Amino acid sequence: MLQSAIPVLHVGSSLAAEEYYCAKLGFKLIFATRADESRPDPCYMGIVRDGAILHLSSFAGDAVPGGVAFIVVDDVDRLFAEFEAGNIRIDLQPTNQTWGNREMYVKDPWRNCLRFVNDSQL
């Protein structure tokens, strides 16, 4: 039986990704595995914020820049206020979509899109 799915997003730099996702977006690093521990990249890492888990990889062949992660949240507007206060670039402010979701989009430096969603369809 299926239990969960974890998106893998490609990043160009593990150090820059950790800075962006953890210091700016509020995720916490849960692991980082490097091909060579004396070098920052390539690296495969896991991050978590509340119940949302993402994997980020700078290994060639792991995902492609410009991926999408759909992240269900309790309150898109509250998260928007937090990100706005932290000067996070918002690509789509909280918007009521015609399909019933309230969504906000944030793109990381590698063009991966994080779609934060109050989902009325689940």
Q: Is the pTM value of this prediction over 0.75?
A: yes
Gap between the Cα atoms of 9 and 4, Å rounded: 16
Give the number of other CB atoms < 10 A from CB of residue 115. 18
Helix-then-strand count for the chain, H and E:
2, 8
Domains of the chain as residue ranges with CATH:
8-118 (3.10.180.10)
Gap between the Cα atoms of 47 and 66, Å rounded: 18
Gap between the Cα atoms of 116 and 7, Å rounded: 14
69-120 pLDDT per residue, tens: 999 999 999 999 999 999 999 999 999 999 889 999 999 999 999 999 997 6
Alpha helices in 49-117 (DSSP H): 76-85
